[in-house]
Structure 1
């Protein structure tokens, strides 16, 4: 039998951690965030002020190195026996993380060479492509771009700033500082506050439909330094278990080549252990950059659960569905029980211990032919309810490694009761 050292382990690249934004790698994943949508003025004096502000703000943008260090320090603190005391938690304050992104027009008016960016989707923007995502094409109806709270036609964002942190107060203070600075340049600001839900007992971190969110995220391949084991995504599968140890971070957590998230690195190819083609940056300054999608969705909680109740009642009269109820039906559509436990592993009912176990809640085979309709939480609009009306945040099924993407979703607005 060959030893683990003789196995064809993938050679993962060292990422330029000081030039990549942390929101792309390894990702913020913070419970409290404020998104600042900015539309700046095109007058010469305002543009000059804006350029000066952006230069001052640049050192405050959280790099991949900053964000990975923040994550590792959080995990180390969580392991410390003293971390369980409330006094220790209050003393340990991590500063908020900050990210910035530019819409195409906003970047075009600021940077030479922006027209060379090859992405048609980026250049066209969300308004032009909303119908492809299932949004209404009738002006004035819910979901149509004319009704959007942010980014509607003629009001597309030039800049998006994300402030993310562990507590509401520090995030609020940092966001207010940034807003004040941009307003001084004549810019108009749209603000969206998002927080992990903590308003319903027993459902901390659950999205509005009541399901635990963020259970399944791909892991990014690559190293943070030249050290052989300084992986950006921690590895928990024993090296003797090849090829599983080379394919997963946590058991079942796919490791994806960094070019799926960051420009200038290998993408995922047909063999997940071999680096695929590199998407070369165009223009050159796009290297280490990434694309960010800001998608604001409305969840009709009452309609969703009324639909589940009505459909479960109808199905329960059919052969083979005598035990169907609204919770079971909803969980089969989502692919997970409210706790995050995969229906694939526990088809008869929820298992909260499994849902909370990071070493087991993704440890199953994702099979497009046999898995539930929604394998795990991903973002994409679908129809729900009678006549296909209503909107919800139920995501699409993972079907292929090249379809992987990282998603950070936070709730906004008040929780709704299941009516």
Structure 2
């Protein structure tokens, strides 16, 4: 068992035990948002499938419209119209025009379009006040070419990517099965919200905060309930877990007499590392229970969330085969001081604001109280400010920040 790893060492070791999931499932487009694509997708069609018009106007032969101005308009005979989805059935000849609407196939014989605002109707003719131009024609396969790959395995399906898949002709998509993540909370003092809170008790915030982080990272939460401070009860909860890709425990990994998760893994499982040189979240544990990777999160609510974000989230990204980074790092100017954490790397909660004039493009300030028991700080923070070991950050200094919320 390795101890007192740096954050980089812990993450590297952790990820060596994350075997990407190979099992795929097929979902309809309506259910694909946020899922991870399980295979490369090539377009099944050209888009557009023919030259079409990008504007409302009139299709004609460019040669017939040269020199058209408002003072000296060109008159063409109107021979029909072509709405989107209803191609004009004949050929455009010399001196002729067809009324076209955005998305309509370009009529045969026409090679240019004049916008409707540059024209006027006059019975069965149309007056052109400007020459027709090919620039308002969208050529065949301008967007998508049949057989070309436009969506890659490992991409997360955003609204734009879902729409692209639809345009490519796919009604259903192959996606990676969601990782099944067992979540077990420990401690006699923990009770569910809505129950009477006993003296010295705490509500089960970790179940919901960590569970939300799991779902945000693409996992499926399997809640295993709460295990009190009893070794056999803990084993029973773990035994009833069923097939999982990752086990998460909250609490029970420090050095106290009732920190049973660590002791159980040391005696009946396997511990890969225990304790990481970070604050908050130093007692983090990673091991295996019955062949399933187990990440033992500290019980303090902030520590639990921060350590999952820094270590559990990258683990799930690796399981899903995601090609994007698990979190974004930026540079920001400190508007408040940030203290050091001695020999540990500190991840202090901060409020990050876009500031294009600042070095790095951001400014960041502390949320205030950085105690690992103050969960309110995680609702206010949108970033973790990284303070290296032994370094204090003063106002005006540039620091590294990890973005917690995708909208930044």
TM-score of the two chains, using structure 1 as the length reference: 0.22
Relative to its length, the structure with more strand (as a share) is 2
